[in-house]
Amino acid sequence: MRKSVHWLALSFLFLALSAPCVARTSDAAGAAASVGADVRPAETPITEYQLTPDKLAKAAALYRTRTVLFVLGAVYGIGLLALVLSLKISARFRDFAERKSPRRFVQAAIFTPLLLLTMDVLSLPISMYGHHLSVDYGFSVQGWGSWFWDWAKGELIGTVIVTLVIWGLYTIVRRAPTRWWFYGWLAMIPVLLLLVFIQPVFIDPLFNTFDPLEAKQPQLVAAIEQVTHRGGLDIPRSKMFEMRASDKVTTYNAYVTGIGASKRVVVWDNTSRDMTIGETLFVFGHEQGHYVLDHIWKGLSLQIAGSLLVLYIAYRSIGGIIRRWGPRWGVRDQGDWASLPVLLLIVSIVSLLSQPIVAGCSRYFEHQADVYGLEVIHGLVPDSSQVAAHAFQKLGEKSLEYPTPNPLYVFWTYDHPAIADRLRFAAGYHPWEEGKEAQFVK
């Protein structure tokens, strides 16, 4: 789903929602027999991520474009909020909402959609250019009609959720002007958990089609069962899904999403179609690593703790900002609906400055999952290191990942280690050959 301005605003309040196994056990001998015929060793050993000259030129051009877009996007987002304030747009929307009803909930239901949809429409050219770029480089096959329909659905869902959140938050601000940052944080925790729980069940299917993986790839499911057994897991097949990503994109992916009963692993059909079973097992093993190593709960805990800090910083700074600039912007006080862009501006700046910390934590979790994926498929596929290395080569090639990104850019923005580093690590990771103990899968 596209991240619109109000989705970003909500995720900023939670310190950027991140992205976040599957099957009834079968007879192990039968699974091994079905897998053995198809899990083949990589044909040509590789130790470095490489691109052909034409693909390297495209990757370099795309890398430069994405770097510029990152800087422009950050500046544009902050500038847009400043523009909304300087032109008194939020104050005009507040006045309109107050004229329509004296009830705070009705005012929130009028003000919040007006403000957020205005910002999203003003941000639409950047979003459209991003989609154009994806189509131009062959990452997307989604037509504009389908893209705009997804955009409209995202606007509707996001507006409803954010309106309720803003109404609740500003109710707390008005009733507890010196403690709203803490009480608001407490109230946001169940909202965050609810969103993470319902997204894979109710929201994701509105944007993509999910089929039971067993119905589409029975041989792959049998192989995956061996991986889950190695990890000490007994996960129902009903929690494995194949997403028809090929309806919209050409790239590869798999992910873990949801918590509790909604937790599931999703493999894109492009991945299982273009990768060997061994390579797909590594991708799955990586995602199982997130599950086994409790990365979802650890990530949520970090987000929740970080959101408390962000809200406290907002509380400490918003009063002074409104006293200094409020009259010029038409903002009365921190409980005024028109102060929402001020709050979002503070949170956006703090989130931009804290992005290296968030990205660094994510890279750490992803590296751990890489190690787990390598270890959990060892012995199930011939030469797990080379299988993983070939998987990374395919992932990088398909997405035109640039081999040598600027270290500062990686430090600031990459939520995964650079693909070249991941491939190099995978190709050289074989502690069992060096008489050492595996880190996660004993």
| 146-160 pLDDT, tens digit each | 999 999 999 999 999
- Kindly list the domain boundaries of the chain, sorted by start residue: 5-433
In this prediction the pTM is: 0.88
Element housing 156 (H / E): helix 144-175
Per-residue pLDDT tens for 106-136? 999 999 999 999 999 999 999 999 999 999 9
Q: DSSP strand E in 135-182: where? A: none
Query: Which residues have C-beta within 8 Å of that of residue 358, sequence separation ≥ 6?
Result: 15, 16, 18, 306, 415
Q: What is the pLDDT of residue 260?
A: 81
Residue percentage of the chain with pLDDT more than 70:
90
Distance in angstroms (rounded) separating the CA atoms of residues 391 and 290: 18
Element housing 74 (H / E): helix 53-86
Q: Give the residue from 151, 397, 140 showing the smallest Cα distance to 249.
A: 140
Chain-wide mean pLDDT for the chain? 89
Alpha-helical (H) ranges within 87-143 are: 89-100, 104-136
Alpha-helical (H) ranges within 178-217 are: 180-198, 213-216
Return the structure tokens found at 292: 């086994």
Distance in angstroms (rounded) separating the CA atoms of residues 78 and 341: 10
Q: What is the pLDDT of residue 43?
A: 64
Whether the pLDDT of residue 39 is over 60: the answer is no
**DSSP assignment letter at 140:** B
Per-residue pLDDT tens for 44-64? 899 999 999 999 999 999 999
Mean pLDDT of 203-209: 96
